[in-house]
Amino acid sequence: MASKEEAGKLEWRISVDNGTTERLVPTYGPSQRVFLWLNGFVMKVMVERIAKSMRNIWRIGADDPAKVVHCLKVGLALSLVSIFYYMRPLYDGVGGNAMWAIMTVVVVFESTVGATFSKCVNRVVATILAGTLGIAVHWVATQSGKAEILVTACSVFLFAFTATYSRFVPSFKSRFDYGAMIFILTFSLVSVGGYRVDKLFDMAQQRASTIAIGTSICIVITVFLCPIWAGSQLNRLVQSCVAEYFNTKDMTINEDEMKLQRFKCVLNSKGTEEAMANLARWEPAHGSFNFRHPWQQYVKIGATMRRCAYCLENLCICMNYETEAPDQVKNHFGEACLKLSSSSSKILRELADMIKNTRKSSKMDYLVFDMNSAVQDLQETLKTVPIETNKPEEEKEEDVKSEEDKKGDRTMPMSLLEVLPVATLVSLLIENAARIQTTVEAVDELANLADFKQDSKKKIGGNKATKISLSVTH
């Protein structure tokens, strides 16, 4: 028997009759094999999964610390409102309905100030309105004698039907959907519960007071402790969408997937923008945003940016055509296309700065004039393309000579199939410029409605630039 040490492990071998050696493998019993299998399973599967889950949980908080702050604020609010349950004097003041204050904090506390304000106002107004109507219906029912049950049932049906139907109205649903649901719940509890409760008014008063306590604690904490404003998030979202859009123009064609990921944030931002705009309307004045700030204008700007992003998507498709345009076609359109692309990017950068700093631009008129001039140059370049036709050879030679005499051999006759892919790209660039012009108008309207201050920099370009037609000439 011999031993051999290899890679830090001791291996035992035995000699057999034919002169060779065999590895001596230890034998394990059934219980030992089960133990080893369980040990491997726990270490390799369960421990790895737990570690991976913990890394993902940590990454969520590290990527967005506002989520951690929101969790801390919810815990603080619940701890404060629980005092009404622990301390006897406070508990006696609100009675057994102290639990309603805890429930209120759980259901109304949201991550942003606007969302919390929206739910708090909806809950308080719906509770007071439904409680008042419930007490009134209870009084009418008690005065009706034997028809008390019928009056109560009919009133519950009527108000529940009306409140539920209102939730299907888009303008009402966007702002008061939660309030309608609370109205149905409170009215049903008060009107139906009053049939078996003697002191209905005292019960309604206690529940209203506990809800007011819960909403007050939520508002104070969400406003004064690390506030997260939906309006500021909406402003940053629209500004970042504009920034991401023009950043795609400075990248190479080989980075198509990264470009697609960048401008898809613009295409997928509609729902987030509308939700934030609805929540921002509930927020008080903060920072550079007044009380009646035109938040819906940000939704309009986002819509114009999505139209630009759709055009950019088509541009990416054009650049990936299997049939590559000849060098002479690229040389003919290259300078004009680069000029238009550069001027468009400058405008979008300036728009992003306007939204970020909430200030009017001193050079926007000049940049728009520069872009429109580039569009006009590109249209003229498109008109001067010498395209070959199916004329006889003699006429072709004469046309070529005449073109060479006029233009000094700057261009060569091109076939329609060679020009068509580039002409499509040129048309999309011109259309994109027109859509950027619409975005400029939307941002200017926001600046006027929100009373943006004029930029202190010296204005470039003097008078306001005249708009040049952006239509494609065929």
User: If you average pLDDT over each of 13-22, 77-86, 236-245, which comes out highest?
Assistant: 77-86
More confident: 468 or 177:
177
Mean pLDDT of 349-360: 84
Residues in a beta bridge with 360 = 454
Close Cβ partners of 302 (under 8 Å, ≥ 6 residues apart): 237, 238, 241, 266, 269, 270, 273
Query: Where do the DSSP E strands lie in 191-305?
Result: none
Structure tokens at 261: 């990921």
For residue 398, name the pLDDT band (cuts at 50, 70, 90).
low
Mean pLDDT of 73-89: 81
Weakest mean pLDDT among 168-177, 203-212, 389-398, 442-451 = 389-398
Mean pLDDT of 28-47: 71
Close Cβ partners of 448 (under 8 Å, ≥ 6 residues apart): none
According to DSSP, residue 252 is labeled -
pLDDT for res 165: 93
Q: Is the pLDDT of residue 389 over 80?
A: no
Q: Is the pLDDT of residue 408 over 50?
A: no
CB contact at 8 A, 89 and 82: no
Q: Whole-number mean pLDDT of the chain? A: 75
Structure tokens at 72: 């801390």
According to DSSP, residue 390 is labeled S
What is d(CA 132, CA 126) in angstroms, rounded to the nearest whole number? 10
Q: What angle do CA 134, 139, 140 make, to 5 degrees?
A: 100
For 74, half-sphere exposure in the C-beta direction (CA atoms, 13 angstrom radius) is: 16
Mean pLDDT of 333-340: 82
Please report, for residues 315, 406, 407, the alpha-carbon distance to residue 394 in angstroms, rounded to integers and kept in the order given.
39, 19, 20
pLDDT for res 463: 44
Mean pLDDT of 264-280: 77
Encoded amino acid at 252, one letter: T
Closest C-alpha to 267, from 218, 222, 316: 316
Close Cβ partners of 333 (under 8 Å, ≥ 6 residues apart): 378, 381, 382, 422, 426
Any idea how long the chain is? 474
pLDDT for res 200: 67
Structure tokens at 297: 């204008």
pLDDT for res 198: 59
Structure tokens at 61: 């908080």
DSSP string, 14-83: EE-TTS-EEE-PPP--HHHHHHHHHHHHIIIIIHHHHHHHHHHHHHHHHH-HHHHHHHHHHHHHHHHHTH
pTM of the model: 0.68
Encoded amino acid at 156, one letter: V
According to DSSP, residue 95 is labeled G
Query: Where do the DSSP E strands lie in 56-198?
Result: none
CB contact at 8 A, 354 and 361: yes
What confidence tens digit (pLDDT) does each residue in 282-308 have?
888 877 787 788 888 888 888 888 888
Mean pLDDT of 247-269: 55
Residues in a beta bridge with 5 = 10
What is d(CA 135, CA 128) in angstroms, rounded to the nearest whole number? 11
What is d(CA 195, CA 135) in angstroms, rounded to the nearest whole number? 11
According to DSSP, residue 414 is labeled B
Percent of the chain past pLDDT 90, that is, above it, reads 5
pLDDT for res 420: 72
Weakest mean pLDDT among 137-141, 176-180, 214-218 = 137-141
Q: Is the pLDDT of residue 258 over 60?
A: no
What is d(CA 198, CA 184) in angstroms, rounded to the nearest whole number? 22
What is d(CA 148, CA 129) in angstroms, rounded to the nearest whole number? 21
